[in-house]
A and B are shown apart, each in its own frame.
Chain A
């Protein structure tokens, strides 16, 4: 019997292939079900969102408005910190969610199972990150709702300022998600690295000025240099300028921030995709899709 005949004999019917969109929706739905299974956690998360904003409100009562003005950020510390706190959850999702989910799938033995199905793995990875984005979106909306409606924070919301803030936010997500792809690729191959991803995210949060103006770093050139390497620092600067001062892309600082952010995404996205692809191909070749 010829090899072709043998292959033909073992060949099953053509599998029913769902479109990538249906696959993505299926993965998101599966993750959503898992998320909703932990209702008490969800409620606690929502309550802690409220608590964190209220906490920064009281911290803000201690801030000397004069000193904040000297750093160039107006008189409202709550407005300043609200933007940092609301977006930092997204930062963590972008940087850590995918690598964490992949490790979880590897441990559960489900990555290998999915890998042998006709599911598009790129779609699968997007689906895994979606859960993080969903939780972060709830957090972001919660933080802004409590801050604006509950605590009276005033932002300058014009069409131009909102568009500029959204553009900065989108570029921040893309640039940091690209870093998350790099982390995921490395974690897949080396099986550990979650701690490193954790500290990269913590350093990002610290050096990008989530809770304090970056002007404070002038006395520490090394820290300032490190902070200037982070896309999140530029995104925060642009979002704060647009929402707190109502400026748009025409503002020189914002334009410069967005140019750097755009440049970062152009470099990081292909790099992130390449590292993720390298990681996935490596574990497939080594047969370690379920080793941890």
Chain B
């Protein structure tokens, strides 16, 4: 019997009906929501943790002079400045690290190999794993911002600034999915903690102006912040939410352009890196190893 005949004998018929990617992503979201909702105490405590962080900076704001913020072109309000910084930094960190953790858990449970052996492409898998993390992170973002408002943070919004902030937030999400995908690729190959996401976390805290305007950094360190999309997102969002600037502001247009360029260049690169890691892990038969 020839090899072709054996293959033909063993081959199963390809299923005609295919589940469309949107349904699959919704299934991912539904699954993740069910798991998330099981741990209700953690949900409450996670929110409490975010609120404590904001409350800490409420007290720090009482001894801070807003002069550095004014020099950097922001409104003289340290509390609002830090609430936006902390809320959005946590937002991107929890979504990005959430993606890596999800992949790690799939490896541990042995479910990644099962899913990827089915007719689900790795792009749908990645999207499915990411979307719910961003939804949960948005929930915490709103909680932190609301806590900030309760403590005296003030936002200066109008229709144009709201729209610009929404566009910047979408760009923020997409640009950080790039980082998440790179981290996920690293986990597939390295099978352990995610150094990319950790490095990303502390580098952005330090250089993206989460707690202070970048003007305070010495000139030779300011260029480091220019590498991270969070720097432009935070700058733009703060200008929208604190000063009411919209699309007519040159600074905001500049931030949007830079974020767009970041996504255009790095999204294909990150997908390529993930695909390489994915293919190599599949070839080694190591998708289920951890």
Give the docked Cα–Cα distance between A41 and B205 (Å): 18
Does B223 make an interface contact (CB < 8 A)? no
User: Which residues in B have their C-beta under 8 angstroms from that of A205?
Assistant: 52
Q: How far is the CB of A193 from chain B (nearest CB, A)?
A: 9
Given A206-B56, A211-B56, the answer on whether A61 and B68 have CB atoms closer than 8 Å is yes
Number of interface residues of B (CB under 8 A): 35
Give the docked Cα–Cα distance between A58 and B224 (Å): 15
User: Which residues in A have their C-beta under 8 angstroms from that of B45?
Assistant: 195-196, 198-199
The answer to whether B68 and A40 touch across the interface, beta carbons within 8 angstroms, is: no
User: Which residues in A have their C-beta under 8 angstroms from that of B206?
Assistant: 51, 54-55
Residue in contact with B193 in the complex, picked from A40, A59, A61, A210, CB distance below 8 Å: A40
The answer to whether B63 and A71 touch across the interface, beta carbons within 8 angstroms, is: yes
Query: Which of B12-20, B110-118, B167-175, B194-202 lies at the interface with chain A?
Result: B194-202
Give the docked Cα–Cα distance between A181 and B93 (Å): 32
Query: Which of B177-185, B211-219, B257-265 lies at the interface with chain A?
Result: B211-219
User: Which residues in B have their C-beta under 8 angstroms from that of A61?
Assistant: 68, 212, 216
Does A48 make an interface contact (CB < 8 A)? yes
Rank and list the top 4 A-B pairs by shortest CB-CB distance, nearest first: A64-B65, A212-B59, A51-B202, A48-B202
Q: Which of B49, B202, B205, B217 has most chain A Cβ within 10 Å?
A: B202
Which residues in window 62-93 of A have CB below 8 A to B? 62-64, 67-68, 71, 77
Give the docked Cα–Cα distance between A276 and B63 (Å): 42
User: Which residues in B have their C-beta under 8 angstroms from that of A217?
Assistant: 59
Give the docked Cα–Cα distance between A134 and B67 (Å): 41
Give the docked Cα–Cα distance between A40 and B65 (Å): 39
Give the docked Cα–Cα distance between A89 and B56 (Å): 17
Q: Which of A63, A195, A203 has most chain B Cβ within 10 Å?
A: A195
Does A216 make an interface contact (CB < 8 A)? yes
User: Which residues in B have their C-beta under 8 angstroms from that of A30?
Assistant: none
User: Which residues in B have their C-beta under 8 angstroms from that of A43?
Assistant: 195
Does A38 make an interface contact (CB < 8 A)? yes
Contacts beyond the supplied A62-B65, A68-B63, A211-B60: 7 A-B pairs with Cβ under 8 Å: A41-B198, A59-B60, A67-B62, A202-B52, A212-B59, A212-B60, A217-B59
User: Which residues in B have their C-beta under 8 angstroms from that of A199?
Assistant: 45, 48-49
Q: How far is the CB of A47 from chain B (nearest CB, A)?
A: 7
Interface string of B70-88 (1 = CB under 8 A from A): 0000000010000000000
Give the docked Cα–Cα distance between A15 and B201 (Å): 50
Q: How far is the CB of B100 from chain A (nearest CB, A)?
A: 13
Residue in contact with B198 in the complex, picked from A48, A63, A67, CB distance below 8 Å: A48
User: Which residues in B have their C-beta under 8 angstroms from that of A210?
Assistant: 56
Number of interface residues of A (CB under 8 A): 36
Give the docked Cα–Cα distance between A211 and B56 (Å): 7
The answer to whether A67 and B63 touch across the interface, beta carbons within 8 angstroms, is: yes
The answer to whether A44 and B60 touch across the interface, beta carbons within 8 angstroms, is: no
The answer to whether B49 and A202 touch across the interface, beta carbons within 8 angstroms, is: yes
Q: How far is the CB of B93 from chain A (nearest CB, A)?
A: 12
User: Which residues in A have their C-beta under 8 angstroms from that of B201?
Assistant: 48
Given A48-B198, A71-B63, the answer on whether A62 and B192 have CB atoms closer than 8 Å is no
Does B227 make an interface contact (CB < 8 A)? no
Q: How far is the CB of B9 from chain A (nearest CB, A)?
A: 45
Interface string of A37-57 (1 = CB under 8 A from B): 010110110011001101100
Q: List 23 A-B contacts (CB under 8 A).
A: A38-B192, A40-B192, A41-B195, A41-B198, A47-B202, A48-B201, A51-B206, A55-B206, A61-B68, A61-B216, A62-B212, A63-B63, A64-B65, A67-B64, A67-B65, A68-B63, A77-B63, A195-B42, A199-B45, A206-B52, A212-B63, A216-B62, A216-B63
